[in-house]
Amino acid sequence: MGFVPAPQITLLSGLFYNIVVDLLVCLACGAAAYVINARTGQKYFALFLLLLGLYWFSVAGANLLGWFGLLGRFPAYIWLVKGLMTAPTVALLYFCCDRLFTNKTLVRSIAGLTALVALYFLLETVARDGNAFNLTYWGVQLKVSSEVGLIYLQWLVLPLLLCAMLLILLNVMSGFREQVEQNLTIYWGTVLYALLEYWQLARVTVTWQALLLRLFYILVAFGAYLYFTGQFTEAKPRPLRRIPVFGKLLGLFIALSVLPIIVLSLLTVVSFKEIIDLYIYKPLLWNLKTSREAFIQALGNVQVQALVLLVLTAFVVVLAAILVSRGLAESLRRLRRAMERVSRGDYAVVVQPDSNDELGDVVNYFNQMTAEVRRAREVMENWNRELEHKVGERTADLQALFDIARAIGSSLDLELLIRRTMERLGVINFALLNPDGSERVAGGSAEGRQKALSLPIKAKGEAIGTLLIDASVELAQKGPLLATIIDQLAIAIENIGIYEREKEAVARLTELDRLKNEFISMVSHELRTPVTSADGYVSLFLAGVAGALTEDQRKYLTIVKENNQRLLTLINRLLDFSRIETGRFSIQRELVSLDEVATAVVETMRPQLEKKQAQIKLQLLARSHTFMGDREKMEEVLINLIENALKFAAEGRPPAITIGTRDAGNFLEVTVADNGIGLEAQYLDKIFNKFYQIEDTLTRKAGGVGLGLALVREIIGNHHGKIWAESAGKGEGARFIFQLPIAERI
């Protein structure tokens, strides 16, 4: 029978999958172009998306003609498809150049040049490639030779890619410099489009992978939609048809469930019909090998188709869900932004509803609410302006009153006070009269006061004067203000009188104090000389210079000497205080050991201590026991404190005195404690005042004039130290504590 070649089996049901993908790309680009042009006015980018949708619509038509075997009969249609292939790139390149360059003439020149390149590409592909195309299971691929393809890639796609990368770089640098976030969605979408164009042109035949990658054109349209509508703040007013949210959601459910099922069923029917036609109605069992290979290929195509449909359905569902949810969220975001503006005080904001449904009703209610708030705010602002005017008048009066009160309180010079008050009121002609009618303070001309306003001034119900002012009509009408000012002046005049009287009293007291100090100093000096002389003669008698003394004579002379010493001590203390108050008290500075001072004082006072049967104890525990000061004055401090302990000893028990030292940081602390009659808490600070004595029988009978502790405080203060007393109460003894800076810290 001879050689019979194996028949070639052609399966073309994959063309319908190509048509579905192309129509989806066309629908996405067309919808995005419509929204972007309607809402944002970006006509050049909308033109790019429209041309891209038309191109893929023409590709879908080419696949439909290929299914029926009619594509080769329409060469003009092939040339139309190739002409539309470069049109989107030209439009997108114009858009990028318009954003990259500010010179519009340069942008138009680039657009004209790219249009010429596109025309040259079309002429070259028609001349070299004609109407040639490749037809495979997955679709029609129009033939573009490599030489012609380089024209499109090098002169259109590559410049577009470079412009997009440059825009990305400029925006990123601007974001870093201005510390703001940049939305680069549109430029990265341009890069994706350029890469897809390169990949599509490099393909010789269409595969199912190419169909999946073709879906990325939808991402370009979707990203452009998000980018431009994200920058859009207010919708353009346009009539909207009433469509409830329920109807929109129902339509979306039908679009995402019923339509994919119909498309899936249609494509499945077409695929299986092709297989049934080949293996049942046109059996090839006489060539088992060819039949087996064709069957395996057909089953593989069905598996791939199922995968493609699964991905395609998921892709469409996700995009639709994002668009719908974003549409709902965008309405709420626009409403939120409007509310934020209202919260900042912008009540003129109006939100245009972008849908005629329940969300649109909420927007309309919001606009009505803001309009009512705006009207109410205008009414409140009118009220506020009137209130501010009245408050301004009251504030001016209060400011004037405050300035006058401050002027009154800043001076005790009556003439200066009156003049400042009149200056603040703007009065030139004025006069302050005494109660008898005589003039006390006057300003301006006497003629200006002929028709003056008379304001009587009273203090505690008695007239202390009259104020005459040549007041303006406006000032004369401010009765409450003038009454308040007159009251302030009355208080000031009364205070000035009190001040004058007190100043005279202080001057008299100062003079008396000076005379007192001079008297004390004079008397002390005059008394010290005879007392010292008497003490010397008594000492001579006791020494036996005048002859032997009887026991009674020695006893009486000893009493005289002791009282003479007490009188001399009192005189010396009066002299010390006289020096302190007249500024003649001085401290000699030298390095002194407090341990040596305490030991020397105890030895000096030993006879006096033994006479009182007193027990004295030294507890010198301080490591830093030296200070810079006057040794004699510090001995006088300890002597006064010990004598004070002896003077206020408790009856029925011998005095017990303890002198202790310890370290207290940068100070040396000294304590003189006794077991005497003690002190109540209210007297602990007062006992250091000069001439102060506690009004108590237990203390008054001890005698003294109250200068010892006062002198101790003055000496300690001149050594940059401090002294205080402590006691648990009556009968509990007392502790006198003072601190001196140690010599190492001076």
Percent of the chain with pLDDT over 70: 68
pLDDT at 3: 37
For CATH 1.20.1070, list the domain ranges present in the chain: 14-232
pLDDT band at 88 (very low <50, low <70, confident <90, very high): very high
* Short-list 17, 12, 306, CA closest to 136: 12
With both helix axes pointing from N to C terminus, report the angle between 358-409 and 288-343 in degrees, rounded to the nearest 10: 30
d(CA 208, CA 480): 97
Q: Is pLDDT of 234 > 60?
A: no
629 close to 589: Cβ distance less than 8 angstroms: yes
| Element (DSSP H or E) covering residue 632 | helix 631-647
Is the confidence at residue 62, as pLDDT, over 60? yes
Q: Tokens 């010292």 correspond to what residue?
A: 532
Q: For residue 184, how many C-alpha atoms fall within 13 Å in the half-sphere facing its CB?
A: 18
Residue 245: CB atoms within 10 A of its CB come to: 13
CB-CB neighbours of 373 under 10 Å? 12
Q: What is the pLDDT of residues 429-480, one digit of tens each?
A: 777 777 777 777 777 776 666 767 777 877 777 777 777 777 776 666 667 7
Instruction: Please state which of the ranges 407-411, 490-494, 676-680, 707-711 shows the lowest mean pLDDT.
Output: 407-411
392 exposed, middle or buried (CB, 10 Å; 0-12, 13-18, 19+)? Answer: exposed
Nearest Cα residue to 227 out of 187, 179, 170: 187
Residue 704 pLDDT > 60: no
Strands (E) across 639-702 are located at: 656-664, 667-673
Q: What backbone phi and psi angles, to 5 degrees, belong to 669? A: -105, 130
The pLDDT score that the predictor gives to residue 113 is 93
pLDDT at 269 over 80: no
Q: How far apart are alpha carbons 98 and 105 in whole angstroms?
A: 10
Give residue 280's pLDDT band: very low, low, confident or very high (50, 70, 90).
Answer: low
Is the separation of the CB atoms in 500 and 492 below 8 Å? no
Mean pLDDT of 279-299: 57
CA distance 89 to 108: 15
* 3-state SS assignment for residue 455: strand
The hierarchical CATH code for the domain 489-585 is 1.10.287.130
Residues 201 and 149 sit within 8 Å (Cβ to Cβ): yes
Q: Pseudo-torsion of CA 325, 327, 333, 336, nearest 10°?
A: -100
With the CA atoms of 479, 484, 485 and 486 taken in that order, what torsion angle do they form, in degrees rounded to the nearest 10?
A: 90
Sign of the alpha-carbon dihedral angle for 64, 67, 68, 72: positive
95 phi/psi in degrees, rounded to 5: -60, -45
Delimiting residues of CATH 1.10.287.130 domain(s) in the chain:
489-585
Instruction: Write down the pLDDT at residue 213.
Output: 86
DSSP 469-490: E---HHHHT-HHHHHHHHHHHH
- Rounded to an integer, the average pLDDT of 388-404 is 70
For 303-323, write each residue's pLDDT tens digit: 676 676 677 677 667 766 766
Q: Quick check: 121 and 81 in contact, CB under 8 A? A: no
Backbone angles phi, psi at 241, to 5 degrees: -85, 140
Tokens of 362: 């909420």
As a 3-state breakdown, the chain gives helix, strand, coil percent values, each rounded to 5, of 65, 10, 25
User: What six digits make up the tokens of 655?
Assistant: 């005095």
pLDDT of 159 reads 94
What pLDDT, on the 0 to 100 scale, is given for residue 29? 92
Instruction: Please give the sequence-ordered ranges of beta strands (E in DSSP) within 585-640, or none if there are none.
Output: 590-593, 615-620, 626-629
Rounded-to-integer distance, Cα 314 and Cα 327, Å: 20
Residue at 324: amino acid letter: V
* Tokens, residue 68: 């029926």
Confidence (pLDDT) at 598: 92
- Choose between 390 and 581: higher pLDDT: 390
pLDDT at 241: 57
What local confidence, expressed as pLDDT, does residue 699 receive? 47
Confidence of residue 45 (pLDDT cuts 50, 70, 90): very high
Cα distances (Å, whole numbers) of residue 502 to 141, 417, 488, 510: 117, 19, 21, 12
Q: How far apart are CA 149 and CA 223, in angstroms?
A: 28
When pLDDT is averaged across residues 231-247 and rounded to a whole number, the result is 54
Res 506: pLDDT: 76
- The SS3 assignment for 453 reads strand
Q: Specify the pLDDT at position 295.
A: 62
Q: Which of 216-225, 250-259, 555-564 has the highest mean pLDDT?
A: 216-225
- Across the chain, what does the average pLDDT equal? 77
Determine the Cα–Cα distance for residues 631 and 327; give it in Å rounded to an integer: 97
At residue 9, the pLDDT reads: 47
pLDDT at 86 over 90: yes
Q: How confident is the model at residue 5 (pLDDT cuts 50, 70, 90)?
A: very low
Q: Which CATH superfamily is domain 587-745 in?
A: Histidine kinase-like ATPase, C-terminal domain (3.30.565.10)
Least confident segment among 150-154, 302-306, 640-644, 734-738: 302-306
Q: Is residue 698 very low, low, confident or very high in pLDDT (cuts 50, 70, 90)?
A: very low
Burial of residue 49 (number of CB atoms within 10 Å: 0-12, 13-18, 19+): buried
How far, in Å, CA of 648 to CA of 674, rounded? 9
Gap between the Cα atoms of 507 and 503, Å rounded: 6
What one-character-per-residue DSSP string does 186-210 give? HHHHHHHHHHHHHHHHH-SS--HHH
Q: How far apart are CA 474 and CA 275, in angstroms?
A: 110
Residue 740 in this model has a pLDDT that exceeds 80: yes
pLDDT at 528: 58
Question: Measured over all CA atoms, what is the biggest interatomic distance in the chain, rounded to whole angstroms?
Answer: 190
Percent of the chain at pLDDT exceeding 90: 18
pLDDT of residue 123: 92
Task: State the CATH class of domain 14-232.
Answer: mainly alpha
pLDDT tier, 700 (very low <50, low <70, confident <90, very high otherwise):
very low
Task: Please state, in angstroms and rounded to a whole number, the distance separating the CA atoms of residues 225 and 241.
Answer: 22
The owner of tokens 């032997």 is 548
**What are the tens digits of pLDDT across the range 179-232?**
555 568 889 999 999 999 998 888 888 887 888 888 889 888 888 887 887 665
Residue 695 confidence (pLDDT) above 90: no
Segment 56-73 mean pLDDT: 89
DSSP type of residue 459: E
pLDDT at 7 over 60: no
User: What average pLDDT does range 328-336 have in this prediction?
Assistant: 71
In terms of DSSP H, where are the helices of 410-478? Answer: 414-425, 473-476
- Model-level pTM? 0.46
- CATH 3.30.565.10 domain span(s) along the chain: 587-745
Distances in whole angstroms, Cα of residue 169 to Cα of each of 142, 158, 188, 249, 688: 36, 17, 11, 41, 85
